[in-house]
């Protein structure tokens, strides 16, 4: 029987109650990993982890990634329960749409704390564990095509996504000497529970995407798993855009 890529490895996936994070967690489980599944919503975390447990060991750990203490706690939980930690996917994020001229301070600070602070302090906590235990771990941030191209009412969100991509580059200096690689993935239009609330989403993005369709969560998960696998050990500080070619031509949906 062929050995699975992530056997005997533990991965943390934040923001994994549904959508892209859920699919990444499922894909890791199918490849043999033990997964610590995080979502802000306690009930959703428990429900999703229970559903995914048919594919492997999936443990729920609900909490708010904008809290630096929580990011230490989830790393401690992973190590306490599984005796190891090998992969961290900082996927949790929030999108608060709003006109730049009317955007409120409380909304900006929330987006900054979750999208940048959550990624920063989870990577910091994981990095400390990897270094102290001489582990060549992998860290992956979820960015977005809005970190590359302007999008209406997403100035704050896009700014945070560009920031996590630059964070991945900066951490090359900090973490490469310890054999830790850090990358980012930037999904484009993707068919998730949230986006499909828009009845025109499928049609709109099929027309706008050069390849002829928006992505499915599995499309994003496949690239994410490559970037945290042994096959990508020599790739670090990079962002892979998974958007069906949209950022190459950038037609606006407005």
| Strand 34-37 relative to strand 10-13, pairing | parallel
Q: What's the pTM value of the predicted model, to 2 decimals?
A: 0.96
Residue from 236, 247, 215, 239 nearest 24 by CA: 215
Half-sphere exposure of 4 (CA within 13 A, CB side): 15
Beta-sheet strand order (sheet of 138-142): 58-60, 34-37, 10-13, 87-90, 138-142, 181-187, 239-242
pLDDT score recorded for residue 196 = 86
Residue ranges per structural domain of the chain: 10-244
pLDDT score recorded for residue 1 = 60
Distance CA 228, CA 142 (A): 12
Catalytic site residue from 22, 143, 144, 201 = 143
* 157 catalytic residue (yes or no): yes
pLDDT score recorded for residue 137 = 98
| Strand 58-60 relative to strand 87-90, pairing | unpaired
User: Given 3.40.366.10, 3.30.210.10, 3.40.309.10, 3.40.50.720, which CATH number is that of 10-244?
Assistant: 3.40.50.720
Exposed e or buried b per residue across 73-88, where buried means at least 16 C-beta atoms within 10 angstroms of its C-beta: ebbebbeeebeebbbb
Catalytic site residue from 22, 129, 157, 201 = 157
Per-residue pLDDT of the chain (254 residues; tens, 9 = 90+): 678 999 999 999 999 999 999 999 999 999 999 999 999 999 999 999 999 999 999 999 999 999 999 999 999 999 999 999 999 999 999 999 999 999 999 999 999 999 999 999 999 999 999 999 999 999 999 999 999 999 999 999 999 999 999 999 999 999 999 999 999 999 999 999 888 888 899 999 999 999 999 999 999 999 999 999 999 999 999 999 999 999 999 887 87
Catalytic site residue from 22, 138, 161, 201 = 161
* 22 catalytic residue (yes or no): no
pLDDT score recorded for residue 252 = 79
């Amino acid at each position: 029987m062929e050995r699975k890529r992530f056997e005997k490895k533990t991965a943390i996936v934040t923001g994994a109650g549904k959508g892209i994070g859920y699919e990444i967690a499922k894909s890791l489980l199918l490849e043999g990993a033990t997964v610590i599944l995080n979502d802000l919503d306690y009930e959703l975390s428990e429900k999703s982890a229970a559903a995914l447990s048919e594919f492997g060991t999936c443990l729920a750990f609900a909490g708010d990634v904008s809290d630096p203490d929580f990011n230490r706690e989830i790393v401690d939980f992973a190590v306490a329960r599984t005796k190891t930690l090998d992969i961290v996917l900082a996927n949790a994020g929030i999108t608060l749409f709003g006109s730049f001229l009317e955007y409120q301070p409380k909304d900006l600070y929330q987006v900054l704390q979750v999208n940048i602070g959550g990624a920063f302090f989870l990577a910091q906590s994981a990095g400390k564990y990897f270094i102290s235990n001489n582990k060549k771990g992998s860290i992956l941030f979820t960015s977005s095509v809005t970190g590359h191209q302007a999008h209406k009412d997403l100035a704050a969100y896009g700014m945070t996504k560009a920031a996590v991509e630059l964070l991945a580059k900066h951490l090359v200096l900090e973490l490469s000497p310890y054999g830790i690689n850090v990358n980012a993935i930037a999904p484009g239009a993707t068919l998730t529970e949230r986006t499909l609330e828009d009845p025109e989403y499928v049609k709109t993005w099929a027309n706008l995407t050069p390849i002829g369709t928006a992505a499915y969560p599995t499309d994003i998960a496949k690239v994410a798993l490559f970037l945290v696998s042994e096959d990508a050990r020599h790739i670090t500080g990079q962002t892979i855009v998974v958007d069906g070619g949209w950022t190459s031509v950038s037609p606006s949906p407005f």
